[in-house]
């Protein structure tokens, strides 16, 4: 990170309270008295207004950014800025000290007045960092079919704006037996341009998942599926990894898109529902008889269900062979004759 020379002995005057607020993001401690006011001439009678919320890019906060109408001292540094992507809050007492020191024509109207400072940043996403770590881990002997996954699921890296940074891995330790790693990311030469991260190298498996949410009873077609890579260690033991085991099956209940489908999520689609009118078929080598019946229970193709013979009112059992069709075994169901 570029070192910034603070332009006046003002850091001596206000450095401690201002920097504490900037670094921690908390309201400043104004218990320290101003030690030196010789840097400022006579009182400034210009109209001055507080900018109560500012966004800065640099590593410091200047008087003119905090106060409109601060005149010839606008470029004076009054505090360190918070870290990139963070915010700091400066309270009314601290702001009054600044105004007094620079003889600004401004005073807080109440103790509730404050200055909120946010620092812009270049955001490096979790996936970008994981890609960088993966390349290094493979070079260290990691499995090239795996993927680096950070422990912090909401990780984002904030770098200062205004300069190009080359993000890399300064140090890394890797345990192949469990895939765990610890690494130090670096984007400059300063100590504050280092960050330690941890994670795991996870073996990935290509899994068919639903491209859209499906409701209970919906039949899954090939067009409803897409393939994604998922960590094998996080897959349920009964997760389905073969698309042919999904196509033509029905959802037992609502299934979310993008999630691995388990055997418990699906069933064979119903070919007959309870109360349906069905065709009973009795076949022998010498004849084929059909009659109508009413299903007493629901079932999928291949299921055995009970049917009421519409002519004889006798209950028989048969195997569902297709939508609305049930094959009856003559040896078991002589009642059809």
- Band (74; pLDDT cuts 50, 70, 90): very high
Task: With a cut of 90, say whether residue 17 has pLDDT above it.
Answer: no
Residue range 210-228: mean pLDDT, rounded: 94
Class of the domain covering 205-267: alpha beta
User: Tens digits of per-residue pLDDT, 178-197?
Assistant: 899 999 999 887 777 899 99
Q: Distance between terminal CA atoms of the chain? A: 93
Over residues 51-76, the mean pLDDT reads 95
**Residue that wins the pLDDT comparison between 267 and 8:** 267
Burial of 180 (0-12, 13-18, 19+ CB in 10 A): middle
Whether 214 contacts 254, CB under 8 Å = yes
How far is it, in rounded angstroms, from Cα 93 to Cα 211? 57
Q: What is the mean pLDDT of residues 161-167?
A: 82
Report, as an integer, the average pLDDT of 313-325: 90
pLDDT at 331: 62
**Pairwise CA distance, residues 178 & 182, whole Å:** 12
- Domain definitions of the chain by residue range: 10-120, 123-204, 205-267, 271-336
**pTM of this prediction exceeds 0.85:** no
Check whether 199 has a pLDDT greater than 70: yes
Q: 151 vs 42, which has greater pLDDT?
A: 151
For residue 250, pLDDT beyond 70: yes
- Which residue is listed with tokens 């960050």? 195
Both tokens assigned to 84: 């990139």
pLDDT above 70 covers a percentage of the chain that reads 84
User: Between residues 189 and 280, which one has the greater pLDDT?
Assistant: 280
- The Cα–Cα gap between 41 and 103 comes to 8
Res. 77 pLDDT band, cuts 50 70 90: very high
Give the pLDDT band (50/70/90) at residue 11: very low
**254 burial class (0-12, 13-18, 19+ CB within 10 angstroms)?**
exposed
Q: Does CATH number 1.10.150.20 belong to domain 271-336?
A: no
Quickly state the pLDDT bin for 215 (edges 50, 70, 90).
very high
Distance CA 128, CA 158 (A): 12
Q: Is a pLDDT exceeding 80 seen at residue 44?
A: no
**Cα torsion through 206, 208, 209, 214, rounded to 10:** 180
Mean pLDDT over 281-308 rounds to 88
Residue 233's pLDDT band, with cuts at 50, 70 and 90, is: confident
The residue-averaged pLDDT of 100-113 equals 95
Q: Does residue 43 carry a pLDDT above 60?
A: no
Beta strands in 94-224 (DSSP E): 114-119, 122-125, 146-150, 156-159, 168-175, 180-186, 194-210
When pLDDT is averaged across residues 49-63 and rounded to a whole number, the result is 95
């Amino acid at each position: 990170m570029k070192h910034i020379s603070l332009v006046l002995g003002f850091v001596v005057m206000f450095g401690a309270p201002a920097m504490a607020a900037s670094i921690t993001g908390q309201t400043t401690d104004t218990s320290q008295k101003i030690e030196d006011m010789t840097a400022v001439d006579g009182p400034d009678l210009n109209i001055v207004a507080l900018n109560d919320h500012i966004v800065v890019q640099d590593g410091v906060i200047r008087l003119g950014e905090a106060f409109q109408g601060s005149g010839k001292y606008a470029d004076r540094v009054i505090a360190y800025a918070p870290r990139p992507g963070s915010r700091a809050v400066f309270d009314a007492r601290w702001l009054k000290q600044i105004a007094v020191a620079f003889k600004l024509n401004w005073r807080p109207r109440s103790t509730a007045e404050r200055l909120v400072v946010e620092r812009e940043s270049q955001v490096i996403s979790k996936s970008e960092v994981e890609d960088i770590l993966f390349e290094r881990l493979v070079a260290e002997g990691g499995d090239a079919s795996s993927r680096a996954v950070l422990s912090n699921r909401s990780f984002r890296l904030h770098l200062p704006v205004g300069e190009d940074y080359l993000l890399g891995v300064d140090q890394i330790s890797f345990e192949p037996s469990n895939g765990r790693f610890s690494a130090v990311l670096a984007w400059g030469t300063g100590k504050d341009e280092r960050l330690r991260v941890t994670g795991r190298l996870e073996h990935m498996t290509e899994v068919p998942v639903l491209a859209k949410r499906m409701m209970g009873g919906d039949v899954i077609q090939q067009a409803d599926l897409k393939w994604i890579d998922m960590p094998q260690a996080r897959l349920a033991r009964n997760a389905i990894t073969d698309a042919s085991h999904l196509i033509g099956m029905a959802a037992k209940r609502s299934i979310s898109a993008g999630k691995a489908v388990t055997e418990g999520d699906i069933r064979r689609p119903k070919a007959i529902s309870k109360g349906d009118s069905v065709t009973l078929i009795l076949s022998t080598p010498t004849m084929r008889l059909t009659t109508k019946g009413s299903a007493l229970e629901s079932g999928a193709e291949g299921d055995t269900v009970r049917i009421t013979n519409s002519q004889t009112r006798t209950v028989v059992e048969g195997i569902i062979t297709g939508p609305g069709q049930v094959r009856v075994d003559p040896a078991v169901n002589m009642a059809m004759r």
